[in-house]
Amino acid sequence: MIYYILRRLLQIIPVLLGITIILFVLMYIIPEDPAQLILQKGATEQALANLRAKMGIDKPVYVQYWRYVKQLAKGDLGQSYRYRRSVNSILAEHYPNSVKLALAAIFIEIVIGIFAGIISAVKKYTFWDTLVTVSTTLAVCVPVFWLGMMMQVIFGLQLGVLPMSGMGDGSIRYYILPALTLASVSTAYVARMTRSSMLEVISNDYITTAYAKGLSFRAVIGKHALKNALIPVVTLIGLDLGALMGGAILTETIFSWPGIGRVIYLAVLQRDAPVVIGGTLILVLVFVFINLIVDIVYAILDPRIRYHKREANV
């Protein structure tokens, strides 16, 4: 088990390095000159040159990259081109907001998604099943930002019950709309996956065995079926957590949520390379890390794969 974790951790490094290289090259290719962007029009050539030297962007790309990696090893993500702050501090201020929103969304996914999935599987072909199936199918088709806008209009404008943007004082009311919007598509996937997983599990022989032993419907579903059925669902939710941590750019933009997704997006538009690269790096790191945890949890839930790790990593 330990070897498995170590091996996975080692595999992360090339992925991270790969991403830094890609990002670095991407930002380098961008035609605009960061110094120009900062100093705006009317800057003299000399001022621009000085600024470039100061920012270190007049050196060849591999030199810049090497510098960056050295910095990275010390945990320093550099300085934002745009703002007079370290990237670290920008992230530290905005990332927690994204995390909180992500957790709220995950909560909704788990509670509504799994519940809906179980009901619709157990009551297959009845009204509930149809309801869940229809809503999940629709939810997948609705663009997240449009849903957000509609919710703002209905609940914020027309009914006036919920705040339309921002985090406000941090109370729950402000979380409701953004979290629901963010969670919408994922909840649908969770519900569908729970449903199909339950259906598959229920058709297994060991369920018949459980009934043959004299167990009641509740015990069979609740004990025997559920644990098996939730294994892939847990994986799905875990992966989703990783993705959500990536900052939901669209949701954050619509609801003016001060999160990291928005920060990075703006940084891209502003050609603020250190923020883009540093921010994305953290996102990916978190995502990969969460993946690893998901795999471990999976191994805990499903005893079969503990013994077949060699083949597992395909």
Partner 1 sequence: MIMDDDKKVKKVGTAAIPDELEIEGKYSRSSLYKDAWKRLKKNKLAMLGLGIVIFLVILAIFAPLIAPYDPNARVKEDSALGPSSQYWFGTDLLGRDILSRVVYGSRISIEVGIVAVGISVGLGLFFGALSGYFGRWPDAVIMRVADIFFAFPYILGAIAIMTILGSGIVNIFIAIGVLGWAYFARIFRGSILSIKNKEYIEAARALGASNTRIIVKHIFPNAIAPIIVYATMNVGTAIIVEASLSFLGIGVQPPTPAWGKMLSESLSFIDIAPWMMLFPGLAIVITVLGFVLLGDGLRDAFDPKMKN
Partner 2 sequence: MTGNGKNNTVLEVNDLRTYFYTDNGIVKAVDGVSFDLKKGETLGIVGETGSGKSVTALSILRLIPEPPGKVVGGEIIFNGSDLLKLRKRDLQKYRGNRISMIFQDPMTSLNPVYTVGNQLIESVVIHRKLKKEEAVKEAVRLLQMVGITEAGNRLSSYPHEFSGGMRQRVMIAMAIANSPDILIADEPTTALDVTIQAQILELVDEIKKKTNSSIILITHDLGVVAKYAERVMVMYAGKPVEFSTVDNIFYRPMHPYTLGLMNSITRLDEEKREKLKPIKGSPPSLIELPAGCTFRNRCKFYSDECRKGFPPMKEVEEGHFAACYMAADILKNRAAKDNIDG
Which residues are near partner 2 by CB under 8 A?
125, 203-206, 208-217, 224, 227-228, 231, 301-304, 307
Task: Provide, rounded to whole angstroms, the least separation between the CB of residue 170 and partner 1.
Answer: 25
Residues 229-248 that bind partner 1 (CB under 8 A): 243, 246-247
Tokens linked to 291: 């993946």
C-alpha 226/C-alpha 247 separation (Å) is 31
Of the residues 220, 283, 292, 299, which one makes contact with partner 1 according to CB under 8 A:
283
Tokens linked to 295: 């795999």
Residue closer to partner 2 (CB basis): 33 or 129: 129
Residue closer to partner 2 (CB basis): 72 or 305: 305
Residue closer to partner 1 (CB basis): 18 or 168: 18
C-alpha 121/C-alpha 125 separation (Å) is 9
C-alpha 259/C-alpha 91 separation (Å) is 9
Of the residues 38, 103, 110, 199, which one makes contact with partner 1 according to CB under 8 A:
199
Q: Which does 43 bind (CB under 5 to 8 A by kind): partner 2, partner 1, none?
A: none
Number of H helices, E strands in the chain: 17, 0
Closest CA to 187 of 127, 100, 105: 105
Q: Which does 243 bind (CB under 5 to 8 A by kind): partner 1, partner 2, none?
A: partner 1
- In single-letter form, the type of residue at position 259 comes to G
Residue closer to partner 1 (CB basis): 207 or 219: 207
- Binding of residue 268 to partner 1 (CB under 8 A): yes
Alpha-carbon torsion 131, 133, 137, 140, what sign?
A: positive
Q: Is residue 277 within 8 Å of 27, Cβ to Cβ?
A: yes
Query: DSSP secondary-structure letter at 86?
Result: B
Task: Provide, rounded to whole angstroms, the least separation between the CB of residue 200 and partner 1.
Answer: 10
- Binding of residue 212 to partner 1 (CB under 8 A): no
Task: Provide, rounded to whole angstroms, the least separation between the CB of residue 300 and partner 2.
Answer: 10
Residues 139-168 that bind partner 1 (CB under 8 A): 140-146, 149-150, 152-153, 157
Closest CA to 277 of 35, 81, 126: 81
Q: Which does 266 bind (CB under 5 to 8 A by kind): partner 1, partner 2, none?
A: none
- Binding of residue 23 to partner 1 (CB under 8 A): yes
Tokens linked to 49: 């040159």
Task: Provide, rounded to whole angstroms, the least separation between the CB of residue 234 and partner 1.
Answer: 18
Tokens linked to 43: 């800057």
Tokens linked to 19: 């991403």
- In single-letter form, the type of residue at position 145 comes to F
Give start and end residues of each alpha helix (H) in the chain.
2-29, 34-39, 45-55, 61-73, 87-108, 115-122, 127-141, 144-151, 172-202, 205-212, 217-219, 226-245, 249-254, 260-269, 273-301, 303-306, 309-312
Query: Residues interacting with partner 1, by CB under 8 A?
Result: 11, 14-15, 18-19, 22-23, 26, 29-30, 124, 137-138, 140-146, 149-150, 152-153, 157, 199, 203-205, 208, 243, 246-247, 249-250, 253, 261, 264-265, 268-269, 271, 276, 280, 283-284, 287-288, 291, 314
